[in-house]
Structure 1
Amino acid sequence: MTGAPGARRRFWDRAEVVEEADGFAVRLDGRPVRLPGGTVLRVGGRALAEALAGEWRDAAGGRTGGEFTPSDLPLTRMAGTMLERIAPDRAATIGALLGYARHELLCYRARYPALLVERQRQEWDPWLDWLRARHGVALRTTDGVMPVDQPDDALAGLRAVLDGESDGVLAALGVAVPALGSLVLGLALVEGRLTAEQAIWCATLDERTQMELWGADAEQAARLERLRAEVADAASFLVLLRPGS
Structure 2
Amino acid sequence: MRDLPNDPETGHQLSDPDPVKRAQIQMRRQLPKRFYTEASVAETPEGFAVQLDAKPVRTPGRALLALPTAAAAQLIADEFEAQRETIDPTTMPVLRLVNTAIDGVATDTQAVLEDIMRFSSSDMLFYRADTPEALVTRQADAWDPVIDWARSTLGARFFLAEGIVHVDQPRDAIAAVGIWLKQRDDACRLSAIHLMTTLTGSALLALAIDAGALDPDEAWTAAHIDEDWNIEQWGDDAEAIHRRVLRRRDFDAAVALIRALPG
| Structure 1 length-normalised TM | 0.89
- Structure 2 matches for 1:129-208, cutoff 5 A? 129-167=148-186, 168-208=188-228
In 2: Cα distance, 1:79 partner to 1:106 partner: 28
Structure 1 residues 104, 38: CA separation in 2 closer, same or farther (over 3 Å shift)? same
In 1: Cα distance, 2:94 partner to 2:131 partner: 40
In 2: Cα distance, 1:122 partner to 1:45 partner: 36
In 1: Cα distance, 2:252 partner to 2:97 partner: 13
In 1: Cα distance, 2:262 partner to 2:45 partner: 20
2:66 is equivalent to residue 45 of structure 1: no
Aligned partner of 2:22 in structure 1 is none
- Structure 2 matches for 1:25-174, cutoff 5 A? 25-59=49-83, 61=84, 66-167=85-186, 168-174=188-194
2:255 is equivalent to residue 235 of structure 1: yes
Q: State whether residues 109 and 185 of structure 2, in contact with CA within 8 Å, keep that contact through their aligned partners in structure 1.
A: no
Look up the SS of the partner of 2:239 in the other structure.
Answer: helix
**Cα distance, 1:97 vs. partner?**
1.1
Q: Which amino acid aligns with 2:74?
A: E
Q: Can you give the 5+ residue segments of structure 1 that lack an aligned partner in the other structure?
A: none
Q: Which amino acid aligns with 2:213?
A: R
**Cα distance, 1:81 vs. partner?**
2.5
**Cα distance, 1:105 vs. partner?**
0.6
Structure 1 residues 68, 122: CA separation in 2 closer, same or farther (over 3 Å shift)? same
Look up the SS of the partner of 2:131 in the other structure.
Answer: coil
Q: State whether residues 105 and 182 of structure 1, in contact with CA within 8 Å, keep that contact through their aligned partners in structure 2.
A: yes
Q: State whether residues 93 and 249 of structure 2, in contact with CA within 8 Å, keep that contact through their aligned partners in structure 1.
A: no
Look up the SS of the partner of 2:115 in the other structure.
Answer: helix
In 2: Cα distance, 1:195 partner to 1:101 partner: 19
Aligned alpha-carbon RMSD (Å): 1.9
Q: Deviations over 1:161-195 (max 9, x none)?
A: 11111422212112211111101100110011222
Q: Deviations over 1:102-149 (max 9, x none)?
A: 220101111222221222122211211111011110111221111111
In 2: Cα distance, 1:108 partner to 1:224 partner: 22
2:238 is equivalent to residue 218 of structure 1: yes
In 2: Cα distance, 1:195 partner to 1:205 partner: 16
In 2: Cα distance, 1:121 partner to 1:17 partner: 44
Instruction: Return the match for 1:4 from 27, 40, 62.
Output: 27
Look up the SS of the partner of 1:9 in the other structure.
Answer: coil
Q: Which amino acid aligns with 2:246?
A: R
Look up the SS of the partner of 2:159 in the other structure.
Answer: coil
Q: State whether residues 205 and 219 of structure 2, in contact with CA within 8 Å, keep that contact through their aligned partners in structure 1.
A: yes
Q: Which amino acid aligns with 1:54?
A: D
| Structure 2 length-normalised TM | 0.83
User: How many residues end up aligned between the 2 structures?
Assistant: 237
